[in-house]
Amino acid sequence: MHAEQRSILDALRNHPDKINGSRLYFIRLDEDDHPSFAGKPYCTICSKMALDVGIAEFVLSHREGICVYNTEEYNDLSYQYSE
């Protein structure tokens, strides 16, 4: 289970009234647990789950800077991802 899925389930259990319209902050950690830059949106499971529960935005830290994605845009990009 991805951390995003776990955080969504936790929010549904503990704060269901605060999910709709919320932001999900994605932080990637390196092997030493230090924050590192995120890649492009790619996980369709997490993006679809966030979209289904009403999360409004995904926030990622890219090498180019912080990027705020509308969840629909993030979901579309995750389906376009290829390595």
CB neighbours of residue 24 within 10 Å: 23
Q: What is the pLDDT of residue 42?
A: 84
Name the CA dihedral angle for 63, 64, 65, 70, rounded to a multiple of 10 degrees.
-100
Model confidence, pTM: 0.85
Specify the number of domains making up the chain: 1
Residue range of the domain that includes 63? 3-80
Q: What is the pLDDT of residue 19?
A: 97
Q: What is the pLDDT of residue 83?
A: 54
pLDDT category of residue 82 using cuts at 50, 70 and 90: low
pLDDT exceeds cutoff 60 at 23: yes
